[in-house]
Amino acid sequence: MRAGHITHEGPAAEAIEIVDVATPEPGTDEVRLRVEACALNRLDVFARVGHPEEDDEFPKRTGGDIVGVVDAVGENVAEARVGDEVMVYGGVTCGECEYCLNGEHTMCHEYEIIGEDRPGGLAEYVTVPADNVDPKPDSLDWVTAAAVPAAFTTAYRMMFTVGELGPSDTALILGASGGVGNAALQYADMVGATAYATTSTDEKAERLEQWADDVIDYTEVPFDEAVMERTDGRGVDVVADHVGQETWQRSIDSLAMGGKMVICGATSGPDPDIDIRSVYQHHRQILGAPMGNRQEFRDAVALVARGNVEPVIDRVLPLAELAEGHRILEEREVFGKVVIRPSQ
């Protein structure tokens, strides 16, 4: 089968190769999928450019947002599942610890991510635990379904489970043209919250206006100052920040008294320089909200399937153009999700 491998750290055009490898056989309690689509995320870029929490073992096959058709099953898996159209929940856990039994799968000490700790879906076939697949709703095509898992599940946890955003609240979403940011913005709009979004170009700002009450171009004005001006000095109840050290202090300074900053990533770096007094003196909270649990995944899929929110697809590329997908994601030339079709 064909697969996209990251062979070393470096520019996408040099570090990514499309190779022929053996088609994997499903192990015990696993299924094999013919991959129909797989969306790209920042995780894919980090695996290539280097990440503090990543090892330097190559080759790597990333791709965690997998949808496809079950075409083979391992021991202990019912043969009746062959032919099922499925979506993959990307977190693999022990299923037995206190966190798993409480439904908090991402807290499991044995937690692994498909496409990071295990071979991902940027290939024609992939094997995954049978417990990690759910039926793909009939209302979703392959490309739309692939754009849901990481972005919309993470944003669901950020905005609702952790941020507790409601219709009377105000929210600031950073990087609202990206996958997670756009999902968070759509959720805020869905519940009727007042939403402010940041972006960097007029073109992106115009597209964001369909969900945001106001769009802030952070290249023209510090976004915390803009937020305070628009809220008459109050600030917002929730800030969704996945950018990291470049934005942390401004995100904190955008919060109202008692507001929450929910974080799911550190694209710009993990070491922010902050004034801790700006947190405790204003009763503010900084809360981690990584990839959601299985129920949040299912809730996110259901909202998309019902049409409450809708993933924005920037472009669809064949596996042969995987390096180009990496490049445009890394250089922020996208609005929404980049989806790879391995069979094309």
- If we measure between CA atoms, which residue out of 114, 89, 35 comes closest to residue 67? 35
Q: Give the model confidence (pLDDT) of 125-155 as tens digits.
A: 999 999 999 999 999 999 999 999 999 999 9
pLDDT (0 to 100) of residue 50: 80
- Find tokens 């209302």 and name the residue: 139
Domain limits, the chain: 2-147+311-341, 152-288
Q: What is the DSSP letter of 103?
A: T
Q: Which CATH code fits 152-288? A: 3.40.50.720
Q: Which CATH code fits 2-147+311-341? A: 3.90.180.10
**Backbone dihedral angles phi then psi of residue 327, each to the nearest 5 degrees:** -60, -50
Beta bridge partners of 106: none
Q: Give the model confidence (pLDDT) of 206-247 as tens digits.
A: 999 999 999 999 999 999 999 999 999 999 999 999 999 999
Q: Give the model confidence (pLDDT) of 233-286 as tens digits.
A: 999 999 999 999 999 999 999 999 999 999 998 888 889 999 999 999 999 999
User: Alpha-carbon distance 83 to 68, whole Å?
Assistant: 9
Angle, in degrees to the nearest 10, between helices 322-330 and 42-49: 100
Provide the token pair at 336. Answer: 């929404």
The answer to whether 19 and 2 are in contact (CB under 8 A) is yes
User: Alpha-carbon distance 24 to 15, whole Å?
Assistant: 23
**Backbone dihedral angles phi then psi of residue 318, each to the nearest 5 degrees:** -75, 165
